[in-house]
Structure 1
Amino acid sequence: MTTITTDPQTASGDAPAARVIPLCSAAQSACATPLSIAENPCFVRSNDWVNAEYKHLVLSAPALALTARSGQFFHLACPASNDDTPYLRRPMSLYCVAPENQRIEFLYKVQGAGTRGLAQLAAGDTLDALGPLGKGFTLPDTTAGGHVLLLARGVGLATLAPLAHAAIAAGARVTAVLSARSPALMMSADYLRDAGANVIIVTDDEQTSDVVQVESLIRRVHAQQPITYASTCGSNRLLSMLQRVASQLGIPGEVALEQHMGCGIGACYACVRPFRKHAGSDELSYRRVCWDGPVFDLQETTSW
């Protein structure tokens, strides 16, 4: 790790300047091109409930934070709430980045000490967001004119939303299959429709979300227009099914993983998990989700 510098963005109304932290990848022996992250002091614009379990956090962010790509995340310094004082930061996948509006957004479920602290934030408060972190999605060269499938469950809907924008901007058709326990807990459907995606909703309450039915749905979608890239997040059952279907149909893809983390920058090795050395291999390797991911090749990822 090298010296800390300062992001020059200090215009009135913007988030305060960030503390930039250049990092060296292990593959960069001389650190000629460091990976830059920052402690980004962000202003809260809004922090509203979208349903009984999830909140939508909108922040004004410094310049470096606005370089985040789909699939990357930020490590948030969550404030204390009541008797809860989170010791570690919490990883949060990016829901939206809008450089033209100096804005980043997160969609999160309120369920633990960290997210209960986030839920207390109000407009005008400041939040420290370390990032952007991790390896994001990599759309194939054939994206233009292709057909991208997004398959998400629960909070995974947030992670895949920026990918839909990137794919559509690259000239692809996007089909988003969104799964939730009930229609009341469904998120991002209108957001994705407005972006130009074809949205298909399945829920437990309507008995349309079991893996067999979702597999049949994906095969019908593929028959109508071949899927050229597939991505998923939020469900082990859907991951296992999509791996099998994508392998049979010859569809490349990626998965975004959720994992408990300590540092978020690869130093503590708290987020290590097993992966296949390559697609179809019985040999395993061990990788850090925060540093080598959180986005990984679909066929190299093991179920949990």
Structure 2
Amino acid sequence: MTEATLSHCATHDALDTPSAADCCGAPLDIAEHACQVLANKPVNAEYRHMIVKAPAGASLAQPGQFFHLACPPGASGSTFLRRPMSVYGADPVLRTVEFLYKVQGAGTQGLATLQPGETLDALGPLGSGFSLPGGTQHLLLLARGVGLATLSPLAAYAIARGARVTAVLSARSKALVMSAERLREAGATVHIVTDEDGDSDPLQLEAHLRALHAGQPFDFLSTCGSNRLLVLLQQLGNEWGVAGQTAIEQHMGCGIGSCYACVRPFRESTGSDRLTFRRVCWDGPVFDLQETTSW
């Protein structure tokens, strides 16, 4: 069920945004969807996996896009603003959308209370997702924590287009590693590094990535979920001459570019010392790897 719709590209024009022509393919309709919860189960001590039945427009969400979710009251009370949630999976045939989320604040505590058969109010799909260059041969996914949810759909997307995917998953412990089997089933080669084993340390991780690149060079890089991983991949990408993108996590107000609550600095271009300011919800949440500033 759709309660309200808004053309993504039309809103770019209305806001006089320079990236109005950058919409991926045909214009997408942003809509408020009443989605039926099919499952909402814990995957470990911190994260839950939610699957919802969604209208056709919602299930066309692309890797890197997100929905702005209206969260029911939880243990910490009610929330006034929606919560942005990256797409963990979208199936236009089954008409489902999936979310992988960490239960930590009032909003996600409320999401955790939703039971099968109940309704999730989801505004989207929102934002600009990943743009994989044509002819990409070997994609690196480097993610930690909730970043695993954001990058997982990119693996299936790349593999379907003939690319090889190597996923390096970082977590505090093996118990908190997520998406490994999902990525393997999609056809990705998976490497796991953890704090408890010590191999997620920046120096060891850098050596590991260099060895992987030496064996079969990457020609596109992607990351999400960690400032430390972002900086490392920027350094390696610059040295190797390999482009990439990163998905940014950011608190938001409206999610459609109107309130400017999610503005943050970016380099004007690769290698530039000049900064520009962009809205994560509208100009992103996926940005050029080298233009993204650390936080």
Question: Structures share a fold, TM > 0.5?
Answer: yes
Which of 186, 202, 205 is the equivalent residue of 2:193?
202
Q: State the match for 2:220 in structure 1.
A: 229
SS at 1:266's partner residue?
coil
2:100 pairs with 1:107: yes
When the two structures are superposed, what TM-score results if normalisation uses the length of structure 1? 0.91
2:5 pairs with 1:20: yes
Q: State the match for 1:44 in structure 2.
A: 37
Q: State the match for 1:162 in structure 2.
A: 153
2:251 pairs with 1:266: no
**Contact in 1 for aligned 2:76/2:106 (Cα 8 Å):** no
CA-to-partner distance for each residue in 1:62-86, whole Å, 9 max, x for gaps?
1110111000000000001245111
Q: 1: distance between equivalents of 2:79 and 2:11?
A: 29
The aligned amino acid for 1:190 is E
Q: 2: distance between equivalents of 1:222 and 1:240?
A: 17
Q: 1: distance between equivalents of 2:271 and 2:2?
A: 47
Q: 1: distance between equivalents of 2:163 and 2:12?
A: 34
**Contact in 2 for aligned 1:48/1:55 (Cα 8 Å):** yes
Which of 107, 118, 124 is the equivalent residue of 1:131?
124
Q: State the match for 1:80 in structure 2.
A: 73
The aligned amino acid for 2:72 is P
Q: 1: distance between equivalents of 2:123 and 2:154?
A: 21
Q: State the match for 2:47 in structure 1.
A: 54
Task: Give the CA deviation at 1:141.
Answer: 1.2
Task: Give the CA deviation at 1:214.
Answer: 1.1
Task: Give the CA deviation at 1:17.
Answer: 4.2
2:56 pairs with 1:66: no
What do you get for the CA RMSD once the two structures are aligned?
1.5
Q: State the match for 2:272 in structure 1.
A: 281
Q: State the match for 1:295 in structure 2.
A: 286
Q: 2: distance between equivalents of 1:136 and 1:26?
A: 15
Task: Give the CA deviation at 1:26.
Answer: 3.5
Mark the runs of 5 or more structure 1 residues left unpaired by the alignment. 1-15
Q: State the match for 1:118 in structure 2.
A: 111
When the two structures are superposed, what TM-score results if normalisation uses the length of structure 2? 0.94
Q: 2: distance between equivalents of 1:35 and 1:63?
A: 12
